[in-house]
Amino acid sequence: MTFKTLDDLESGQRVLVRLDLNSPVEDGEVQDNRRFDRHATTVKELAENDHRVVLMAHQGRPGDDDFVSLEQHADILAGHIGMDVEFVADTYGDDALDAIRSLEGGDVLLLENTRMVDEELPEEDPETKAETAFVKTLSEEFDAYVNDAYSAAHRKHASLVGFPLVLPSYAGRVMESEYEANSSIATREFDGDVTMVVGGTKATDVIGVMNALDEKVDQFLLGGIAGELFLRADGHDVGYDLEGMNLFDEQWEKNEETIRNVLDEKGDQIVLATDLAFEDENDERAEIPVASITEKDTAYLDVGSDTVATYTPYIHDSEAVFVKGALGLFEDERFATGTTGVLEAIADTDCFSVVGGGDTSRAIEMYGMSEDDFSHVSIAGGAYIRALTGESLPAVELLQEN
Ligand code: 3PG
Ligand code: MG
């Protein structure tokens, strides 16, 4: 099913736009990231079409350190768009309404953090959200609603699910491209092999993806914490916590049976790491074949080079490759080569490729690769996993029904 896009929106209107500018915050400073750059495309197009453009977004959650005002976001976004972005420290009170009413065609205004509104966060059905003072008050000021926040589309928050019930609604450019690429594993038929690289820290995500996609995917290439847990199920002395660690044992206790069943039932499709990397006594990267590990006595921080060599031909022979999660601790250069090795193998081929899942895509820019070498690099985390596993995204469904 499809939705209306900016192509269907007549110019010169009052448009309320939901973006996802949720960003890392370090010592109170909002960190620039690709979400700004991506959403800038949508905002710029709207401004150029003479709309009065009012932006909503969230940052953090009440009680967390990264729950801050969007004032800095306005400046960062302005830099990416190359035009002024006004900011008002209010969402739907008099200050916000005054600022909205004084806009002219082509102006861009960012409202304050939607999560500062009490009615925003509780997960409730769209009908309830449409009845909130927040949605009722703001919707009066607009002709149309544009949702560009694909990466927050799994949340039933007022700014995401309330407005589509009361305003004509459209998908922004980011929403459009994310939806198409991330759903493609479920919706497209590929002629050749489909490979999925699954890593990251959460075993339940990996299990969910494998269970949902075992008929679509020819092979799953494993890494990360999840990969080590599967190695443990395969009888290797890895995948448990050393003193002071809290990564494996709790997940193992909760998921042991499922992991064993998945390995049993889908063993033919699952490819496990053949070697792992660790920090040696000189603080340098060292590697060990999995078969030689008799007892885990060090933390494994990446898959090894033999594993990358084993995974590469699968990638080269595939028609489509999807990546969910990193294969190692790529933020540390010494333990990045598992993740970058696999990404480079994907970049080398002409296959259809989608990279997403938490921070994985950050490895692409960190290590000087080009996004152009992939069909799609997602800026979504939780929404990406849900798209892969076929779970619905409430905010997307509402755009489709609109
Ligand atoms: C994200 O950053 O993943 C989305 O914006 C959703 O944020 P949340 O996980 O705090 O709801
Ligand atoms: Mg390519």
Distance (Å, whole) CA 91 – CA 313 = 52
CA of 128 to the centre of ligand 1 (A): 21
232-251 per-position pLDDT tens digit = 999 999 999 999 999 999 99
Task: Pick 94 or 381 by higher pLDDT.
Answer: 94
Whether residue 224 is annotated as binding a ligand: the answer is no
Q: pLDDT band at 359, cuts 50/70/90?
A: confident
Is there a contact between 21 and 73 (Cβ–Cβ < 8 Å)? yes
What's the rounded mean pLDDT across residues 195-208? 94
Query: CA angle 385-382-248, nearest 5°?
Result: 80
pLDDT beyond 80 at 126: yes
- Using a 6 Å CB cutoff, which residues line ligand 1? 20, 22, 61, 151-152, 155, 381-382
**Structure tokens that stand for 326 in this block:** 């990193």
What's the rounded mean pLDDT across residues 137-165? 98
Q: What percent of the chain has pLDDT over 90?
A: 94
Domain with CATH 3.40.50.1260 in the chain: 6-177+394-401, 183-369
Q: Which of 84, 83, 87, 82 lies closest to 59, judged by CA?
A: 87
Distance (Å, whole) CA 268 – CA 61 = 42
Answer whether 0.75 is exceeded by the pTM.
yes
Whether residue 172 is annotated as binding a ligand: the answer is no
Distance of CA 139 to the CA centre of its chain: 28
Distance (Å, whole) CA 374 – CA 363 = 13
- pLDDT score for 208: 94
What's the rounded mean pLDDT across residues 148-170? 98
12-24 per-position pLDDT tens digit = 999 999 999 999 9
Domain with residues 183-369, CATH architecture? 3-Layer(aba) Sandwich (3.40)
Hey, what amino acid is at 198?
V
Least confident of 64-68, 183-187, 333-337: 183-187
The DSSP bridge pattern shows strands 169-171 and 193-198 to be: unpaired
**Structure tokens that stand for 52 in this block:** 């009065």
Q: Give the length of the chain.
A: 402
Q: Is 2 exposed, middle or buried (0-12, 13-18, 19+ CB in 10 A)?
A: exposed
Q: Which atom of ligand 1 is the closest one to the Cα of 151? A: 4
- pLDDT score for 1: 63
pLDDT beyond 70 at 228: yes
- pLDDT score for 58: 98
Q: pLDDT band at 187, cuts 50/70/90?
A: confident
Distance (Å, whole) CA 369 – CA 377 = 12
CA of 380 to the centre of ligand 2 (A): 20
Q: Which CATH superfamily is domain 6-177+394-401 in?
A: Phosphoglycerate kinase, N-terminal domain (3.40.50.1260)
Whether residue 59 is annotated as binding a ligand: the answer is yes
The DSSP bridge pattern shows strands 275-279 and 302-303 to be: antiparallel
How many angstroms separate the Cα of 164 from the Cα of each of 5, 138, 179? 13, 12, 17
202-220 per-position pLDDT tens digit = 999 999 999 999 999 999 9
Distance (Å, whole) CA 192 – CA 320 = 8
